[in-house]
A and B are shown apart, each in its own frame.
Chain A
Amino acid sequence: MAEPLLSIQGLNYRYGNRRAVVDVAFDIGVGEVLGLLGPNGAGKTTTISCIAGLLADWTGSMSFAGNPFQPAKVTGDRRRLGFVPQELAIYPNLTARENLSFFGKLAGVSANELGGAIDRNLDLAGLVDRQSERVLTFSGGMQRRLNLASGLMHAPQLVLLDEPTVGVDPQSRNHLFETLAALKHSGVSLLYTTHYMEEAQRLCDRIAIMHEGQVVAIGTPTELAVSIGQPGANLETVFLHLTGRNLRDE
């Protein structure tokens, strides 16, 4: 594996008495796409929230490019990350351009670079022609693309994506995949949570399967299939083998 960009060791987080994340450990290399796969309530979003700095009271350790990483406490650490939440976290009464400008300014993009960053991300999202229209007039797929672009304005080294394709039509999903592939090729690392096996198989270099707050297996799809003693098994088989067939009520 390439040199770790982000390294997480012994990450734990509790919601009251409930342990949501239990001794989670993994690394993400430069330009690597790591998928976090797991059923509902497995701890994927909590893990990503700890890394994004949304949750502060976790225990364990994180390092970024070899340096201690405290995103909830150190503002500068958050500048290294791009965050694309599950919700459409954009402003419907602003135009696409205004949204990108807003998030670019917050992320610390300088005035000289802001125009270029907006144009680049509008192009990335395929919204150049609609840049001056209010977001509330956009389709769900267009809003998802803008949601992604808004997290990339400051050209972060690591992008955290929390189920970014929920409710997206196949065309927009395909566009998102192409965008993420382009980011990967440009050396950006991605941490990607999803429910969809085919997405994970298509996009991710490695996959960490989470179950009841723990990472129960991590590796390439091939390595995971071997780890359950069924070489050549698809990801869904591996997933069901590791997490069981019970319905998830959380």
Chain B
Amino acid sequence: MLAAAMVLARKDIVSFVRDRGALMLSVLVPLALVTVFGWIMAYAFGGSGGMPKVTLHVADVDQTPLSQRFLKRLQQLDMLKVVSLDVKLLPAEVTLAQRAQRLIEDGDAHHVLILPQGFELQLQAGDAPPLTMFRDPGRAMEEQMIQLALVQACMTEFGNQLMLSSMDRILEQQGMEANQIRLIRNWMSNIGTTISTFVEASRDDVPAVDAESSEPLPAAQASTDLQLDESPEVASSDGAGGSDDDSADNDSGISPQMLRDMFSQIVPVETTDVAPPNRSRQVTYQQAQSVAGMSVMMLLFALTSCGSVLLKEREDGTLKRLFAQPIERNSILLGKFLFVFAVGMAQLTILFTYGEWMFQVGLFRDPITLLVLSITWVATGGAFGLFLAAVSRSSKQAEGLASLLILMMAALGGCWFPLQLMNLPVVLEAICKSTMTYWAMTGFQGMLWNQLAWYEPKMLVALGWQWGWLIGLSALSIAFFKRNYCRG
């Protein structure tokens, strides 16, 4: 039995090796996928830094040394990709608040932080730094990371003395006696130690501000700025001083959530939620991303499979008879396209209906936009499927190419995870933005999450790119069809 099995296996190996196209693809597909995914994952979720990178748009209205220093500190955090909004470039009729809201409504930003006029003055007066935030309330993950980033930046720049003096003032205002305030201050010192440990733990990730390039702090601020790791008061009052980071956290019983709650009390951020009125509060960004991403990718697989009917016609011999019919050759290609389109629309309808039933992501809220996006993506994907069939010499080749290209485009286009969480280099970002999957995702996310209508500028750009792909792929399909099929 083994001898017969060996003979069969040998025959299959020889056949496989002699099919050069299939052999090349079997080697190239894994290599290409490993390369692309390795490349992308190096930037995904923080890459080697271990933290996802979140984009934060910041507008420095104050434009003072302290506000600029705070902005620089934010820029130095590994977990943030800070995009500065130049308030001077705003048209006269548009307020900064309107601009921030528009950015979030269009899905171009999810958090916009404003350092308002008087930022420096208020800090110098010993008050908490005034921060104004416009945010998309559905971006919970980014919200948490941005809060952490603000904690880190404020603690590093302004020190816990600022917090303690703020607390004293608040307690005095509440009519509390001096000894009670002292007790609370001791308790706060313990918390400060925890924060100190937290900041120290993060220090490796935060490059120190270049002493030469930094503006000197104003006198009032300098007097209150406490270097946490050098504070004898903190070190002496904390029994956990000198212990490692984890034990400090554990000993104090302070969780990151508590830190965030505490921070929001001490440095209140005036927050304005910007969300489409009809978006369900139960839907998360990740859910919307997942529904859109999987729909875009799986449809591409299905359309590619349908596109291979052209190859099947050739392999079955029926194409020869079709060529002998009194019809235009391109009508065969068009017929296949219409078939693929019809199947794709049916599949997308089923996918979306199921997705809506399972996750209630509001797919059918704007049926016209959904229809426009669906038609565009199905047509583009169908043209892609036919293109693969037109360039391939066999079904095996087409399958290999489809796997390679679809998986690569899905990863690059953001079907698997949000590209916003990656710190992509310019070249890779440009490659991502050149994929048709990226623009399909932009369109579906714009509809699902930002509830944009098809005629909004951002949606028109996404549709335009897809139509560009559609036209290009159709032209290539016709050219390869003529070359590989019609010449006999």
Chain A interface (Cβ < 8 Å from any Cβ of B): 49, 52-57, 75-79, 81, 83, 85-91, 103, 106-108, 150-151
Contacts and interface: CB of A to CB of B under 8 A. Distances in A.
A55 B488 contact: yes
Given A56-B486, A103-B321, 20 more contacts: A49-B488, A52-B324, A53-B323, A55-B488, A57-B487, A75-B326, A77-B326, A78-B326, A83-B321, A83-B324, A85-B320, A86-B317, A87-B318, A89-B316, A89-B317, A89-B321, A106-B325, A106-B327, A107-B325, A150-B321
A78 B324 contact: yes
Contact of B326 (A86, A89, A108): A108
Contacts of A85: 317, 320-321, 324
B32 interface: no
Contacts of B316: 87, 89
Contacts of A107: 325-326
21 contacts: A52-B324, A53-B323, A54-B323, A55-B487, A55-B488, A56-B486, A56-B488, A75-B328, A78-B325, A78-B326, A81-B324, A83-B324, A85-B320, A85-B321, A87-B316, A87-B320, A88-B317, A89-B316, A89-B317, A89-B320, A151-B321
A76 B325 CA distance: 9
A88 B313 CA distance: 11
A104 to B, nearest CB: 10
In order of increasing CB-CB distance, the 8 nearest A-B pairs are: A87-B317, A89-B321, A83-B324, A79-B326, A55-B488, A78-B326, A106-B325, A52-B324
B322 interface: yes
A76 B321 CA distance: 16
The A interface is mostly helix, strand or loop, or mixed, namely loop
Given A54-B320, A85-B317, A103 B325 contact: yes
B462 to A, nearest CB: 38
Given A49-B488, A56-B488, A75 B327 contact: yes
Nearest to A58: B488
Contacts of A49: 488
Nearest to B322: A106
Interface string B435-460: 00000000000000000000000000
Contacts of A90: 318
A90 B322 CA distance: 10
Size range of the interface on B? 10 to 19
A87 B325 CA distance: 16
Contacts of A88: 317
A56 B327 contact: no
B478 to A, nearest CB: 16
Nearest to B324: A83
A89 B324 CA distance: 11
B298 to A, nearest CB: 24
A77 B321 CA distance: 15
Contacts of B323: 52-54
B238 to A, nearest CB: 78
Contact of A56 (B321, B328, B487): B487
Interface string B302-326: 0000000000000011101111111
A91 B318 CA distance: 8
A141 to B, nearest CB: 18
A72 B361 CA distance: 53
A88 B317 CA distance: 7
A111 B487 CA distance: 32
Contact of B318 (A57, A86, A89): A89
A114 B486 CA distance: 29
Contacts of A150: 321
Contact of A54 (B318, B324, B327, B328): B324
Interface in B120-177: none
Contacts of A55: 487-488
B485 to A, nearest CB: 11
Given A83-B321, A87-B316, A87-B317, A76 B326 contact: yes
Q: Which of A54, A86, A107 has the most CB of B within 10 A?
A: A54
Q: Which of B320, B322, B326, B486 has the most CB of A within 10 A?
A: B326
Contacts of A151: 321
A78 to B, nearest CB: 4
Contacts of B326: 75-79, 106-108
Interface in B221-259: none
B320 to A, nearest CB: 5
Nearest to A55: B488
Contacts of B320: 54, 85, 87, 89
Nearest to B319: A89
Contacts of A56: 486-488
A55 B485 CA distance: 11
Contacts of B487: 55-57
A37 B323 CA distance: 24
A151 B486 CA distance: 20
Contacts of A75: 326-328
A102 B94 CA distance: 62
Contacts of B327: 75, 106
Nearest to A52: B324
Interface in B38-74: none
Interface in B457-488: 486-488
A108 B328 CA distance: 12
Nearest to B323: A54
A53 B324 CA distance: 6
Contacts of A89: 316-318, 320-321
A83 B320 CA distance: 9
Contact of B488 (A54, A76, A79): A54
A168 B435 CA distance: 52
B308 to A, nearest CB: 15
Nearest to A83: B324
